[in-house]
Structures are given as C-alpha cells and as structure tokens.
C-alpha cells in the first residue's frame, strides 16, 4: 500500500504529522510518499501542483491530505478540485457524529448521520467565465454522476438504517430534477427507503432535528455547505473528517481549511485529521481501526484538548496522547 502524504499549508502542516504518528502506531506496511502542494509551493515555485505531482499521486493507492490555502490568483486552478477530478473521487463522505463529552452549538448528542456529496460535478464543474460585467459558472448534473452517487449512498444505507434523504433545490434549479429523479429510482431499485428535502429547509432541519437523518445524499455545493454547518453540531471544525472515494483511489482530508488565523501556534485540533486515519484504515479493511475512537474518547475524557474545545493542550500533546493510547490498547 502506497500513501501520498500531503500536509499542504497552515495547520495542515501541524495536524497531518500527528495523524501520521497515529497511523504509524498500527505498524502496517505502508509506503509513505510526501508531496508538497499548495500556496507555499506556489509562492516558492510559481505552481501549486505540477503534472508530475499528479502522476506521483496517481502512482499511490490513497492520499492523506491536510489543507491548502487558496492562491490569490484569478487563474488559479484549485489543487483539490483537480485531484478530485483526475482521480475521479466521486463520493465525498462526511460523517457527522458527536464525540464523547463535546457539546456542539445546539447542545445535543443524539445524532449520527453521514453526508454523501457528489464530488465531481454540480457547481464545481470548473466550467466558468469571469468577466467584468458578467461572470457565470455552469452547473452540471449528469445521469451517470447522479446514479453513481445514489448507488454509493444506497450501499451505505444498507449497512445502516436502510434510509436516505435526498437534498436538492429542484423547485428552482431545474437541473436538480434529474438528480432527484435518479436518486429516487436508484433507492427504489435497491429497496432503500427514501425521502427528500429542499436544501434550505434541510439546513434548518439539520439544526433543529439532526437525529432524524441517517444517510444524506446531495450535490456538490450543497454538500460542501451543509457539512461545514454540521461541524457546528459536533462542536468544532477540528473534529470532522472526510473521505473522497473513487473506484480506484481514496483521499482523506479533514473538513477544515488551513486556518491562517491560528497556523504556526501549535494549537490546532488534530482530531479531524486523526479521524481521517480511522477512515483510511476502514477503507483498507483494517479491523483495529475502532481503537482510534476509544483513544479519542480517552483523551477527551482526560481533557487533553486544544483551545477550540476550551482546553490548553497543544496539537502535539493531543497527537501524543492518542498515539500512546493506540499503542497500549491495540
């Protein structure tokens, strides 16, 4: 197994080394391939990612990624969007689950759902024209793209409560009618129960009744926005991991960005990145991955927590505590 390790910029450089420590504690045969991408690379070399980098990534099986700062250049092509497209990572999977002892904005911990977001089309198609008086972006919804994300959501639902919620805005965006119809047809074909919600009502409902949802399937931009919002349910952006899954490759990244406001201070929360390692291990079929949940519960209970959760621990202290628990309890 070959793993590309991309720390990126800002706190990506702080949280990924902690995640790698936890991964190393499992003693698996994984060849790690470090790759430098992002804003700092662009500043240094004028490019944030070269074709060679992309080929190196394609030579790996999976990627562990921190975060990159967006390059302030109108011609900048997003590193992340390029990788997702090139590796055809069509399913963006974001579990939203409370962690023991951490209370989010609405003070509840009775929810456990997964947002499955179509990751290659929608408003992130990259087909756009930016002008002085007129700018536009094409929103692409295809039958194939909708079918495969619906298939993914249904397969996941079968392992859980056999129920999906399709999130769309088909009352205004006619392109979403195709997405909605295909998701309904796919759910019926799989014998999966389904309901649907308009994205605006869904945002409200997720805050009021998060316990009602299990597998939520939606288009690219809606999924992006809803999943950041749902990080507030969990308690911090520093707690939410994500996986980008394709037929051949998988790519794991915390939901948060490079957080320039706290970067370099050693206080970023590494738990989202560490939970990415858990998702990576699950993807690899490693049965011991659950020990990471136990390790995180242990450090939270001992209040070894970073300032975003009200603690005083550093990124490295949290990483060391999780790694120590994993090594002792595997």
Q: Which residues bind ligand NAD (CB under 6 A)?
A: 11, 15, 67-70, 80, 236-238, 253, 256-262, 268-269, 272, 308
Mention every residue, 6+ apart, whose C-beta is less than 8 A from residue 5: 16, 20, 32, 33, 34, 35, 63, 64
Nearer to ligand NAD, 124 or 194 (CB): 124
Look-up: residue for tokens 């707690």? Answer: 239
Nearer to ligand NAD, 14 or 121 (CB): 14
Question: How many angstroms separate the Cα of 154 from the Cα of each of 123, 151, 166, 168, 188?
Answer: 23, 5, 11, 17, 10
Q: From the CB of 38, what's the least distance to ligand NAD, in Å?
A: 8
Q: From the CB of 193, what's the least distance to ligand NAD, in Å?
A: 32
Mention every residue, 6+ apart, whose C-beta is less than 8 A from residue 122: 139, 140, 141, 219, 220, 221, 222
Q: From the CB of 247, what's the least distance to ligand NAD, in Å?
A: 22
Q: Are 289 and 37 in contact (CB under 8 A)?
A: no
Name the residue among 254, 267, 260 with its Cα closest to residue 313. 267
Helix (H, G, I), strand (E, B) or coil at 243: strand
Q: Are 261 and 105 in contact (CB under 8 A)?
A: no
Nearer to ligand NAD, 195 or 260 (CB): 260
Q: Are 90 and 297 in contact (CB under 8 A)?
A: no
Q: From the CB of 265, what's the least distance to ligand NAD, in Å?
A: 10
Mention every residue, 6+ apart, whose C-beta is less than 8 A from residue 170: 176, 177, 179, 180, 198
Q: From the CB of 231, what's the least distance to ligand NAD, in Å?
A: 9
Residue with smallest beta-carbon separation from ligand NAD: 257
Q: From the CB of 280, what's the least distance to ligand NAD, in Å?
A: 16
Helix (H, G, I), strand (E, B) or coil at 9: coil
Nearer to ligand NAD, 70 or 170 (CB): 70
Q: Alpha-carbon distance 245 to 251, whole Å?
A: 6
The phi, psi pair for 6, rounded to 5°, reads -120, 105
Nearer to ligand NAD, 137 or 185 (CB): 137
Nearer to ligand NAD, 66 or 164 (CB): 66
Q: From the CB of 285, what's the least distance to ligand NAD, in Å?
A: 26
Question: How many angstroms separate the Cα of 92 from the Cα of each of 18, 41, 216, 269, 309?
Answer: 23, 26, 11, 22, 26
Nearer to ligand NAD, 13 or 190 (CB): 13
Q: From the CB of 161, what's the least distance to ligand NAD, in Å?
A: 29
Nearer to ligand NAD, 120 or 165 (CB): 120
Q: From the CB of 90, what's the least distance to ligand NAD, in Å?
A: 17
Nearer to ligand NAD, 111 or 252 (CB): 252
């Amino acid at each position: 197994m070959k793993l590309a390790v991309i720390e990126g910029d800002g706190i990506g450089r702080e949280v990924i080394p902690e995640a790698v420590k936890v991964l190393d504690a499992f003693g698996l045969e994984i060849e790690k391939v470090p790759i430098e991408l992002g804003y700092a690379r662009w500043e240094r070399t004028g490019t944030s990612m070269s074709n060679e980098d992309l080929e190196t990534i394609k030579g790996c099986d999976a990627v562990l990624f921190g975060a990159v700062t967006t390059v302030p250049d109108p011609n900048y092509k997003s590193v992340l969007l390029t990788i997702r497209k090139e590796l055809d990572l069509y399913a963006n999977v974001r579990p939203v689950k409370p962690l023991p002892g951490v209370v989010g904005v609405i003070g509840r911990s009775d929810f456990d759902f997964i947002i499955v977001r179509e990751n290659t089309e929608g408003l992130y198609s990259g087909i756009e024209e930016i002008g002085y008086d007129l700018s536009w972006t094409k929103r692409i919804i295809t039958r194939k793209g909708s079918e495969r994300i619906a298939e993914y959501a249904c397969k996941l639902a079968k392992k859980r409560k056999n129920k999906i919620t399709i999130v769309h805005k088909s009352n205004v965006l006619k392109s979403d009618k195709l997405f909605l119809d295909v998701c309904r047809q796919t759910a019926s074909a799989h014998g999966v129960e389904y309901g649907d919600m308009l994205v605006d009502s869904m945002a409200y409902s997720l805050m009021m009744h998060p316990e009602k949802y299990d597998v939520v399937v939606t288009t690219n931009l809606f999924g992006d926005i809803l999943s950041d919002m749902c990080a507030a349910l969990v308690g911090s952006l520093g707690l939410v991991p994500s996986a980008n899954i394709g037929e051949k490759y998988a790519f794991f990244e915390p939901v948060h960005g490079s957080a320039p406001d706290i970067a370099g201070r050693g206080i970023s929360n590494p738990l989202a990145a560490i939970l990415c390692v858990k998702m990576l291990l699950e993807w690899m079929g490693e049965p011991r991955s659950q020990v990471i949940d136990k390790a995180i519960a242990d450090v939270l209970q001992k209040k070894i927590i970073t300032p975003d959760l009200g603690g005083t621990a550093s990124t490295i202290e949290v990483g060391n505590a999780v790694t120590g628990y994993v090594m002792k309890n595997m």
